[in-house]
Amino acid sequence: MSRKPLRSNFEPGSTRWAVRHAQWTAMGIAEADFDKPKIAVVNTSSGLSVCFQHLDGIAKRVASAIRAAGGLPLEIRTAAPSDFVTSAGRQGRYLMPTRDLIVNDIEVQVEGAELDGMLLLSSCDKTTPAHLMAAGRLDVPSLVLACGYQLGRQCGEHHVDIEEVYKSVGSVKAGQMALGELQDMCRVAIDGPGVCAGLATANSMHCLAEALGMALPGNAPIRADGPRLHALADQAGARIVAMVAEDLRPRAILTPAAFRNAVRFAVATGCSVNVMRHLIAIAIEAECPVDVIAEFERAADLVPMLTRIRPNGPDRIETFEAAGGVRGVQRRLAAVLDLDVQTVTGRPLGAWVDETPEPDARYIRPLAEPFAAEPGLMIIRGSLAPDGALVKLAAVPAAIRRFRGAAKVFEDEAIAIEGLKTGAVRPGQVIVLRMLGPKGGPGTVFAASFMAALVGAGLGSEVAVVTDGELSGLNSGITIGQVMPEAAEGGPLAAVRDDDMITIDLTARRIELEVAAGEIARRLEGFTPPVPTGRYGWLHLYGQLVQPLSQGAVLGRRPALPVVKP
């Protein structure tokens, strides 16, 4: 079956062969299966969240397909973070660190057992980037199966999903909605398993797995536990066995051109602001010499807005799927994509683009007739973010491209949310949420709830937010995220004081702290970040190892690679 010996087949009579033989025989695995390709079915599943509710069934389905194709499936489990459940403890500090925990968990199990390939079942926000990072690091044949989105339901006369619930918390805080109304929404907001409806981080990363060539064509977006996903699960199980036989590895797919393609897809669709850090981390783990930040800056001048999927506009994620999804956007972008890149199918991207039907122009516009000439995602720089910051321009009100206001500084998101009730947060301000990044948290505090509450309170177009904390792909409004360097690194964000003036100019792609450079330097002299609470445990270890946001917040310093220019 394989063109080269499988690394999982040990020398008969050796210690490794004997103990594995004994273990697997006791598990009921037939001896005839021992020499087959051994495929890790990475089931990032949990009973904590609806995001993962269907994965055990999908794992069984892909395992059957692997067996039918001549492989031996071996299911492994990892941590399974949910942004709406695992965020409860320590103000969401556990969320970003779980991404890298999953990567290391996969390494321990797949490398420790010397398995031959991986089929990775991806669901909530951190699992897809973790799976792609692990694939890049281990470089064994790997295929991502994006396991789909949930839907909402009707609440009275209105359609309600998790985004509406999220925003309505601010309405309750501002006294504009009764708690009972919110409770009614919670009862109907989610219909079935899967990730958040809308182009939030989970669906964004599902799409980017396909855009990178690491998922089967047509995988994203996809309704969770529906017939299309079931069919793709069968295809994925067969395909991963073939990939082992072909020795098709992730680093042959995760090339600079593949990352360039993925960035252009992200800009054209207005993906989550979190995708940049994840793409950087995937590139680092794959040892791919590409400058992802520079690719975002180039794409902003090249790629306009071709879709308007919520929260970027009125169209829903299921509409995007029906209109053509990732393949439809790639067909529209064909003129600015590298179509020679390899994919997990063993065929170049161009072959799939040629076979893709014309997408529905009502929802996926041609490159020459975009919904907006502006990019959906954009890097901005300036005295407040010398290494860059990211703005989801698609989710900023169209009438607002310049905002100037007095700073109001918070280092605790809960206090900022309370400010909506007390009046500490007022129209015209620039709210600075800092010391919330990977080092400052440590573990990247979930700043997204404040932005959602702000929009729910009706202030989304009257108050700007600048943060080094973690945002959600569901956030909308005047939001500047992933400010680099983060405050805890001694970046200029740490020098901001209440009532300093901040100017955000999205047309010029600038964000400026209106304080003299010498004064900023003086304020930062001898700066030391606050000492995080809790001296031990996973967050403490993470804080010691995590690298800057500009390096994807990966764990451990990596040697710099020469960048391949386009």
Where do we find the tokens 């509450």? 453
Average pLDDT, the chain: 93
- Which domains are seen in the chain, by residue range? 35-151+192-355 (3.40.50.2300), 379-525+535-551 (3.50.30.80)
Q: Which two tokens stand for residue 39?
A: 């495929």
Active site residue 472: yes
With bands split at pLDDT 50, 70 and 90, how would you rate the model's confidence at 198?
confident
* pLDDT of res. 555: 95
pLDDT, tens digit, 9 for 90 and up, residues 126-183: 999 999 999 999 999 999 999 999 988 888 888 888 888 877 877 887 788 899 999 9
C-alpha–C-alpha distance, residues 471 and 271, integer Å: 12
- Annotated catalytic residue within 46, 168, 472, 550: 472
C-alpha–C-alpha distance, residues 292 and 308, integer Å: 24
Q: What predicted TM-score, i.e. pTM, was given to this entire model? A: 0.94
| Model confidence at 21: pLDDT above 70 | yes
∠ CA 311-315-321 to the nearest 5 degrees?
105
* pLDDT of res. 474: 66
Q: Is the dihedral of CA 131, 283, 202, 442 positive or negative?
A: positive
Mean pLDDT computed over 460-477: 84
pLDDT, tens digit, 9 for 90 and up, residues 355-408: 999 999 999 999 999 999 999 999 999 999 999 999 989 889 889 999 999 999
pLDDT, tens digit, 9 for 90 and up, residues 318-357: 999 999 999 999 999 999 999 999 999 999 999 999 999 9
| Model confidence at 8: pLDDT above 90 | yes
* pLDDT of res. 533: 65
With bands split at pLDDT 50, 70 and 90, how would you rate the model's confidence at 473?
low
* pLDDT of res. 265: 98
| 284: number of Cβ within 10 Å | 22
Mean pLDDT computed over 206-219: 98
Burial class (CB in 10 A: 0-12, 13-18, 19+), 427: exposed
Start-to-end CA distance of the chain, whole Å, equals 38
> Is pLDDT larger for residue 368 or for residue 91?
368
